[in-house]
Amino acid sequence: MMSHGTMKKTLLTACAAAALAVGAGHGASAAVNTVCAEPNPAGAALSYPTQPPLCLLGGGSSLAAVVYQAQAEAHFGVTDPSFGINYSSIGSGSGQNLFLDNSSTFDANNVTPSGQTIAFGASDATLSAGQISTWATSATGQSVSGNLIQIPTFGTAIAVVFKKTSAQQEGELRFNDTQLCGIFSGKITSWQDPALAGVAISPSTLPIGTIHPIYRIDGSGTSFLLTQHLHQVCTTGAGGDSNITFTASANFAGEFGGTPPSNFIGATNSSGIQTTVQTAGNTANEELGYLSPDYTLIAPANSGRGGYPAVAEVQNSNDGIYYLPTSANTQNALANVPAPAAGDANPADYVPPEASPPHFYPIVGFTTVDLAQCYSNATVGNDVVEYWQDFYTPLPYMANLLVQHGFTPLPANLSNAVFNNLLTAGATGNTDVMEPNVCASAGGTGAVAGR
C-alpha cells in the first residue's frame, strides 16, 4: 500500500483507462450504491471482482456518485487492491450528517454497516458556519478527530432541464436570470407570460399552459448550487424579478418556508428529477427542473442513451452571452477562483463560491468531501489520504473521467492548495490529514488520537 504523501501512482493501462472514461451512465432506474462486503452486489452500479480486505465507509452526493464509484473501482482494480469504498448515494444533506454524526442511521439505503467509523461524507453543498462551529464541541469532532477537513473534488454546472421531445432538443429553450428568478420563485407560472418572450429558439416550440418547476425534496447539493446563484442575481420588491429572497440552501422547499407554490412538483434525488421532468405532463406542457450534467446528454458518457431530459442555454448576465452547461464552459467559469494559502486550516476557505462568474455558463460550483484530520486506525487514515489524492495528482484518466460525465477538474491553483495543505505529509501549520504532530495516539505528543 502506498504511504501518506506519495504522489507516484500506478497509471492505468490503455484499456482500463478507456473503460473508466466511459463509466456507468445514469438511467431512470440506475443503481448507485456500493457494498464492499459483497462481491458483485446485486443491482449495484459498481462491483469488486473480489471482496476488498478493508472497506472505507462514506456516502452522500448523488451528483458525484458515478465518479466516486468509477474511481473506487479503478483504484482497487489497478492501483491498490488492499481496500475498497462503500459509497451510498443518499444526497448531499444526508452525506454531511452521515459523516459529521459518524452514524450509519443517515444512510437511507441501509448499505452502511452500523457501529462502524464513517471515513468521509460527500456533498455539493458547502458546510455551514454552524456545522463548522459544532465540530469544535462535538463528541466525534475536534477533541478526538482534529480539524474538520472540507475539500472540493471537481467542478460542476447545474443544468436547467426540460422534457426532451422530437421538437424540443438541446438548447431549444434559453433563459436569462430574470426569467429563472421568476420561474423558480413562483412569480412566473405560465409559459405564455410576456416575461418569457424569446425563450424558445423557434416560437412554435414554446410550451403552453402552466409551468411546473420540479425541485428536490431531499437535502440536495444541486439545490444549494442553484439557489446560491439565484441568491446572487435575483431581486425582490418593487420592480424585482423574484417573489422571494433566495438563500444558498440545500433545502429548496425551505426557501418558501417549507411549502413551495402549488404549481411546483417535488422529487427525490437526481434520478427523481430526471424521471419526473421527462415523463410528467405532455409534449405541449413541459415541466422544468435542474440537474447536474451527468443526468443529461451534455455528458458524453450518456450519448445514445434514452430517458434524459433536454438542456437549456442560460445567459450569463455579466457578458450577455447564452451558454450550455458543457464541461468546457464550466471549467472556464471556475478558472479564476481564489485558493487558500499554506497553513490555512479553515474548511470554508477551500470551497470558494462562484455564484455569478464574469464569463461562461453562470450556474456552477464544486462538489466536496468532508474528512476528519485524524483517524485512530492509521491504515484507514492513510487509505483515506491515498484515495482522495487521485483527484489532485495528474493522472491522465482522471480528467477524462470527469469530462465524460460532464464535469471538470479543479483549477490548478485550487487543486494544488488542497493537495499541498491537506493531503501531503508535513504541510505548513500541521494541517494535513494524519499529521503525526496532531494525530498521535494517547500517550504520544499529539493532541488527539482520531475518531
Give the strand order in the sheet containing 159-162: 288-291, 159-162, 310-311
Q: Kindly give the pairing relationship between strand 288-291 and strand 159-162.
A: antiparallel
Average pLDDT across the chain, whole number? 86
Distance CA 448, CA 433 (A): 12
Residue range 49-60: mean pLDDT, rounded: 89
Q: For the whole model, what pTM was predicted? A: 0.88
The residue whose grid cell reads 482522471 is 398
- Residue 72's closest CA among 327, 332, 387, 331? 387
- Residue 193's closest CA among 237, 158, 229, 241? 241
| Percent of the chain surpassing pLDDT 70 | 85
CA dist 148 → 121, 144, 162, 386 (Å): 12, 11, 39, 18
Distance CA 12, CA 21 (A): 11
pLDDT of residue 167: 54
> Is the predicted pLDDT of residue 31 greater than 50, yes or no?
no
CA dist 139 → 97, 230, 451 (Å): 14, 36, 9
94 domain residue, yes or no:
yes
414 domain residue, yes or no:
yes
Element (H, E) at 149: strand 148-157
448 domain residue, yes or no:
no
At residue 165 the predicted structure's pLDDT band, cuts being 50, 70 and 90, is low
- Residue 172 · residue 295 · CB < 8 Å: no
279 residue type, one letter: T
Q: Could you give the dihedral angle defined by the CA atoms of residues 78, 29, 43 and 93, in that order, rounded to the nearest 10 degrees?
A: 70
Question: What does the buried/exposed string (b/e) look like for 262-280 if buried means 16 or more CB atoms within 10 Å of the residue's CB?
Answer: eebbbbebbbbbbbbbbeb
At residue 255 the predicted structure's pLDDT band, cuts being 50, 70 and 90, is very high
Within this chain, do residues 57 and 144 fall inside the same structural domain, yes or no? yes
72 domain residue, yes or no:
yes
202 domain residue, yes or no:
yes
47 residue type, one letter: S
Distance CA 359, CA 50 (A): 47
Within this chain, do residues 372 and 306 fall inside the same structural domain, yes or no? no
- Residue 123's closest CA among 90, 86, 96, 149? 96
Domain count, the chain: 2
Distance CA 41, CA 415 (A): 34
pLDDT of residue 206: 83
Residue range 419-433: mean pLDDT, rounded: 96
pLDDT in tens, 7-21: 333 334 333 444 444
Give the strand order in the sheet containing 322-323: 174-175, 313-315, 322-323
Within this chain, do residues 276 and 310 fall inside the same structural domain, yes or no? yes
445 domain residue, yes or no:
no
Within this chain, do residues 75 and 171 fall inside the same structural domain, yes or no? no
**Number of neighbouring beta carbons within 10 Å of residue 156:** 31
449 domain residue, yes or no:
no
pLDDT of residue 32: 40
Within this chain, do residues 112 and 193 fall inside the same structural domain, yes or no? no
> Is the predicted pLDDT of residue 432 greater than 60, yes or no?
yes
Range in 84-88, 96-100, 119-123 with the lowest mean pLDDT: 84-88
Within this chain, do residues 305 and 166 fall inside the same structural domain, yes or no? yes
114 domain residue, yes or no:
yes
- Residue 163 · residue 200 · CB < 8 Å: no
Task: Report which of residues 139 and 152 the model is more confident about.
Answer: 152
pLDDT of residue 244: 97
Distance CA 139, CA 104 (A): 16
Within this chain, do residues 309 and 371 fall inside the same structural domain, yes or no? no
Which of 324, 346, 371 is where one domain is finished? 324
pLDDT of residue 207: 84
Which of 271, 303, 324 is where one domain is finished? 324
> Is the predicted pLDDT of residue 1 greater than 60, yes or no?
no
Within this chain, do residues 293 and 164 fall inside the same structural domain, yes or no? yes
Within this chain, do residues 149 and 237 fall inside the same structural domain, yes or no? no
Residue range 245-255: mean pLDDT, rounded: 96
Within this chain, do residues 183 and 308 fall inside the same structural domain, yes or no? yes
Domain of residue 88, residue span: 14-156+331-354+363-439
CA dist 41 → 34, 35, 44, 46, 50 (Å): 8, 6, 6, 8, 11
Residue range 252-281: mean pLDDT, rounded: 90
Distance CA 108, CA 99 (A): 14
pLDDT in tens, 191-231: 999 999 999 888 877 888 899 999 999 988 899 999 999 99
Transcribe 227-294 into DSSP letters.
Answer: HHHHHHH---STT-S-SS-----S-TGGGGTT---TT-EEESHHHHHHHHHHHSSBTTB--EEEE-GG
pLDDT of residue 262: 95
Task: Report which of residues 47 and 349 the model is more confident about.
Answer: 349
At residue 445 the predicted structure's pLDDT band, cuts being 50, 70 and 90, is low
> Is the predicted pLDDT of residue 166 greater than 80, yes or no?
no
Number of H helices, E strands in the chain: 13, 13
Residue range 308-321: mean pLDDT, rounded: 95
Within this chain, do residues 185 and 296 fall inside the same structural domain, yes or no? yes
| Percent of the chain surpassing pLDDT 90 | 62
Residue 45: CATH number of its domain? 3.40.190.10
Distance CA 232, CA 229 (A): 5
pLDDT of residue 130: 95
Burial class (CB in 10 A: 0-12, 13-18, 19+), 50: exposed
At residue 447 the predicted structure's pLDDT band, cuts being 50, 70 and 90, is low
Within this chain, do residues 203 and 301 fall inside the same structural domain, yes or no? yes
Task: Report which of residues 32 and 125 the model is more confident about.
Answer: 125
